[in-house]
């Protein structure tokens, strides 16, 4: 009975997160476009499947991966063994990202659009390995107490240099891959690991030392995916066509068989995080699970939820994004496209559960000097501005290189002058802005615009919106802290 009630709460929570998207889309369909798409019922059914998938997925996480993962983090922190902690950090980062629904969605889109030149599994393994490496590095930084800002400055200078040499076909995808690595699975586990370590080591501050793992997990995949693109596209440019798989199949035999194959793929996706937890629990700590039946049922719910989520994407969120792009492009001028981008960015970010959680953790760690609601507003404003700027880039056809490099140069500059207490938090907030609901919709919006504006390449121009949604919140949060710090300093001098 308890589990049914908990599932109902998770389903209501998922529907609540979908509500801002529904409100914005319905407003534009009825008020601006004054028409409804032909497959409205199909899209609505897809959204419902997405909500059920998210609810099952989150319920499974709460029963299995989250409690066991947090327990392992606490036990390893108490042990104090640096090699074991770094190995656990790598395994945790790798396994969580491989099972990340938003990364799966982006990787599948990249493979379809590039006509197979970019391999979805290779892309995900590269990103997951990068995140594993950087979480291990972040654990080492927290233990040793090294300042985060030097890691971020050197890292993003490297990102900008690699972007200069990377082929334009991979840049947007690389930044999107970095933006989606920190989400519903990764953020709670990685944040709990960092804050738990900082709280258990004498002389460490949870605010300045505990945050930052999420930020590092966003940065390094941008470098590795661009290097992958340099290798893949070294033989010359190749245009891809948009292929949108809606999951339909005329063959009654192929349908059930394909469902079983897709379910097997979901098991393969979640298997690394299950193995990580079991290996460290039984072979390293040499302790059994406290409630193995509950944990196993949680793993099963994670797999079923992930499967339902991916199916719902294909028949719900992807068609909504592409349909809105197709309809808005037909209007005179681009004003309503900009307005839609801004509204969808702001509305979905305000409802983002990972952002709410990080805001609350920051408020507690800062002992009241930061306001969680103010942080959410600043981040939502940053995402709205970022997606709007990204849409403008697609409309005018500018190269993404200059926007991205310019954006991160501003970030690097702000990092050198921002108060130290805000830097790790600002970078982490840039990594949690794109939810499991927002990412597919925004990705589909970018692909839809690039498909329907003459002279645009789906592969070159379609990706990149998620990157803008990650950059601008960092800017707004750090700029806010600089202004507040400046005002406080002037008040002290005045008195």
- The helix or strand, by DSSP H or E, that contains position 97, with its residue range, turns out to be helix 82-98
Question: In Å, how far are 28, 54, 78, 357, 386 from 465, measured between CA atoms?
Answer: 20, 23, 41, 24, 8
Q: Which residue has the tokens 């039946």?
A: 293
Instruction: Please compute the mean of the pLDDT values over residues 378-392 and round it to a whole number.
Output: 92
Residue 148 pLDDT > 60: yes
Do the domain assignments include residue 244? no
Q: Is the pLDDT of residue 301 over 50?
A: yes
Rounded Cα gap, residues 53 and 45, in angstroms: 12
The pLDDT assigned to 320 comes to 77
**Is 84 or 410 the better-scoring residue by pLDDT?**
410
Express each pLDDT in 327-370 by its tens digit. 888 887 788 999 999 998 888 777 665 676 666 666 666 656 66
What is the CB neighbour count within 10 angstroms for residue 252?
8
DSSP string computed for 382-441: HHHHHHHHHHHHHHHT--HHHHHHHHHHHHHHHHHHS-HHHHHHHHHHHHSSS-TTHHHH
pLDDT at 388: 95
Does some domain include residue 187?
A: yes
Q: Which of 2-6, 52-56, 141-145, 306-310 has the lowest mean pLDDT?
A: 2-6
pLDDT score recorded for residue 476: 92
* Contact call for residues 335 and 82 (beta carbons, < 8 A): no
CA 285, chain centre distance (Å): 31
Which one, of 303, 399, 388, 298, lies nearest residue 341 by Cα?
388
Which pLDDT score is estimated for 186?
66
pLDDT value for 392: 94
% of the chain at pLDDT higher than 90:
6
- Tell me the per-residue pLDDT of 231-277, one tens digit each, with 9 for 90 and over: 888 765 444 444 444 444 444 445 677 777 777 777 776 777 778 87
Q: Is the pLDDT of residue 373 over 90?
A: no
Q: Could you tell me the residue range of the domain that residue 200 belongs to? A: 11-233+252-494
- pLDDT of 391 above 90: yes
Give tens-digit pLDDT for 428-459.
787 766 666 667 778 778 888 888 888 888 77
Do 181 and 92 meet the contact criterion of CB atoms below 8 Å apart?
no
Q: Tens digit of pLDDT for each residue in 168-188?
A: 888 887 877 777 676 656 666
Number of domains in the chain: 1
What is the model's pLDDT at position 387?
A: 92
d(CA 442, CA 439): 5
Q: What is the pLDDT of residue 2?
A: 66
Would 247 be classed as within a structural domain? no
Higher local confidence (pLDDT), 149 or 229: 229
Residue 269 lies in a domain: yes
- What pLDDT score was predicted for residue 273? 75
pLDDT of res. 490: 86
Q: What is the model's pLDDT at position 207?
A: 64
Distances (CA, A) of 95 to 64, 167, 346: 14, 29, 30
Mean confidence (pLDDT) of the chain: 78
Q: What pLDDT does 251 receive?
A: 44
> Average pLDDT in the 13-28 region?
80
Residue with tokens 């504006």: 453
Collect all residues with Cβ–Cβ distance below 8 Å to 313 and sequence separation of at least 6. Answer: 46, 50, 105, 440
Question: Does residue 220 fall inside a structural domain?
Answer: yes
> What's residue 70's pLDDT?
67
Three-class SS of residue 185? Answer: coil
pTM assigned to the model: 0.72
Q: Is residue 353 part of a domain?
A: yes
- pLDDT, residue 188, reads 62
Residue for token pair 């709410």: 356
Contact 393, 234 (CB under 8 A): no
């Amino acid at each position: 009975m308890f589990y049914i009630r908990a599932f109902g709460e998770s389903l209501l929570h998922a529907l609540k997160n979908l509500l801002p998207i529904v409100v914005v889309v319905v407003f534009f369909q009825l008020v601006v476009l004054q028409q409804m798409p032909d497959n409205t019922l199909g899209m609505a059914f897809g959204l419902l499947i997405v909500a059920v998938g998210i609810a099952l997925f989150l319920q499974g996480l709460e029963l299995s991966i989250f409690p066991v993962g947090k327990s392992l983090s606490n036990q390893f922190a108490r042990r104090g063994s640096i090699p074991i902690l770094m190995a656990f950090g790598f395994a945790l980062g790798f396994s969580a990202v491989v099972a990340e629904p938003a990364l799966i969605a982006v990787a599948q889109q990249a493979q379809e659009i590039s006509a197979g030149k970019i391999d979805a599994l290779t892309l995900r393994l590269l990103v997951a390995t990068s995140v594993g490496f950087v979480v291990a590095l972040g654990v080492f930084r927290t233990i040793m107490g090294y300042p985060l800002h030097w890691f971020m400055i050197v890292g993003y200078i490297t990102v900008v240099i690699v972007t200069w040499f990377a082929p334009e076909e991979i840049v947007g995808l690389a930044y999107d891959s970095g933006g989606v690595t920190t989400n519903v699975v990764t953020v709670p586990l990685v944040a709990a690991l960092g804050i738990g370590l900082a709280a258990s080591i004498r002389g460490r501050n949870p605010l300045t030392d505990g945050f930052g793992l999420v930020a590092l997990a966003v940065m390094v995949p941008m470098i590795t995916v661009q290097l992958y693109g340099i290798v893949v596209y070294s033989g010359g440019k190749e245009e891809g066509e948009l292929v949108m798989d809606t999951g339909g199949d005329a063959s009654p035999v192929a349908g059930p068989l394909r469902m079983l194959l897709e379910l097997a793929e979901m098991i393969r996706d979640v298997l690394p995080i299950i193995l990580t937890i079991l290996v460290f629990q039984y072979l390293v700590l040499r302790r059994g699970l406290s409630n193995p039946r509950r944990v196993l049922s949680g793993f099963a719910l994670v797999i079923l939820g992930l499967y339902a989520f991916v199916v719902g994407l294909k028949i719900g969120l992807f068609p909504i994004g592409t349909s809105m792009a197709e309809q808005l492009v037909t209007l005179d001028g681009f004003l309503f496209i900009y307005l839609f981008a801004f509204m969808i960015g702001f509305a979905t970010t305000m409802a983002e559960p990972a952002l709410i959680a990080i805001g609350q953790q920051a408020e507690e760690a800062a002992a009241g000097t930061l306001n969680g609601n103010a942080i959410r507003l600043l981040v939502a404003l940053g995402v709205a501005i970022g997606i709007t700027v990204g849409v403008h880039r697609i409309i005018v056809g500018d190269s993404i290189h200059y926007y991205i490099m310019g954006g991160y140069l501003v970030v690097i500059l702000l990092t050198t002058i921002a108060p130290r207490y805000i830097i790790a938090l600002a970078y982490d907030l840039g990594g949690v802005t794109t939810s499991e609901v927002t990412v597919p919709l925004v990705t589909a919006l970018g692909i839809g615009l690039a498909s329907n504006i003459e002279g645009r390449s789906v592969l070159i121009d379609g990706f990149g919106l998620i990157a803008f949604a990650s950059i601008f919140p960092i800017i707004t949060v750090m700029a806010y802290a600089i202004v507040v710090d400046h005002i406080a300093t002037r008040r002290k001098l005045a008195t």
